[in-house]
Structure 1
Amino acid sequence: MKIIWTFTLLMIPGVVSSISVTGYSGREIIITCKYDREYTANEKYFCKGQWSTICSDLIKTEEKNKAAHSGRFSLYDDTRAAVFTVTIRDLSEQDSGTYQCGVDKSGQLDSYTEVNLNIITETNNHGTQSPSSSSFSSGSSLIISVSVLLLLIITVILLVIVTLWRLLTLGR
């Protein structure tokens, strides 16, 4: 089961806001970007880099209420809610970095939300990527092991007590 991380990013016209998000290698992340309703007709895009320098477009669309796809990236502009969502599939460590969620405002400064993406690589005992949370499965295994060990100790103690009680009652 894939865990989908959803983050809502606030876009303030003419001002760059910023958020840090964490994703997991091999999984996907969904980033939801809000914009002002007056820009529902404008082009939306997601790019990699700093807003003040060159930001390389990864996906952009003028499509409304329909998903656009480009490789591992999807962008869906929901004009009724004045949000667009960007999905990045099959994350890898190389995806870590700075991105921009942008609304193209012709003749004006575009609205941006800076997204600082950090990708964590999970590994299982064989050194390969694990589709489930390794900390969860390690914690679960530890709890089960300790529980079984405690049950065994309690069983041994009860057997010793019963044996001693029988020996004492038969010896009288």
Structure 2
Amino acid sequence: KQIVQMYMYTPIYLLLLPGVVFGETLTVTEGEDFTVECWFYTSGSKKIFCKNDCDKQDILVQTAGDRAEEGRYSITYEEETNIMSVRIKKVQMSDSGQYQCKLEKFLSNIWWVKDVSDEFMIQVTEGKLT
């Protein structure tokens, strides 16, 4: 089982905090369970885990609550810390690609209220798929 922590901050914080991870490629072995923790600077009303561009067909799992599961994919959100953990069970070779943890804001139609997201790549290496 592999757990990776991703951090999402406003641009001003990027200048102040060394070691912030964005757009990283994460390697996981086929057949393993994989979890990424995305840390956000703010909360959101809808939590989304998606692949590629996050178009409707790319959404793997979403919820307005704190937990959701859809097949091999799940989200757990901690409101107190603004940490969204996303999980893929029994990773397959086809899981390689670009992903996003995303928080949609309730009032995202207002220009100063922006959705926040963190992107990362998953590269799956051959392993024992059971």
Please identify which structure carries the higher helix content. Answer: 1
Contact 2:34 2:87 in 1 (8 A): yes
Which residue, out of 105, 126, 129, partners 1:121? Answer: 126
2:40 maps to 1:49 = no
2:4 aligned partner, one-letter code? F
Task: Say if 1:97 and 1:114 are closer, same or farther in 2 by CA, change over 3 A.
Answer: same
Alignment size in residue pairs: 115
CA distance in 1, matches of 2:93, 2:60: 17
Counterpart position of 1:34: 39
1:50 aligned partner, one-letter code? D
Larger-gyration structure (1/2): 1
3-state secondary structure, aligned to 1:90 = coil
2:3 maps to 1:6 = yes
Contact 1:12 1:112 in 2 (8 A): no
Q: State the superposition RMSD in angstroms.
A: 2.2
Larger relative contact order (CA 8 Å, sep ≥ 6): 2
Gaps of 5+ in 1: 123-128, 132-172
Sequence identity of aligned pairs in percent? 23
1:61 aligned partner, one-letter code? T
CA distance in 2, matches of 1:130, 1:114: 26
Contact 1:13 1:111 in 2 (8 A): no
3-state secondary structure, aligned to 1:69 = strand
CA distance in 2, matches of 1:103, 1:19: 19
Counterpart position of 2:117: 112
3-state secondary structure, aligned to 2:24 = strand
Q: If the length of structure 1 is used for normalisation, what is the TM-score?
A: 0.60
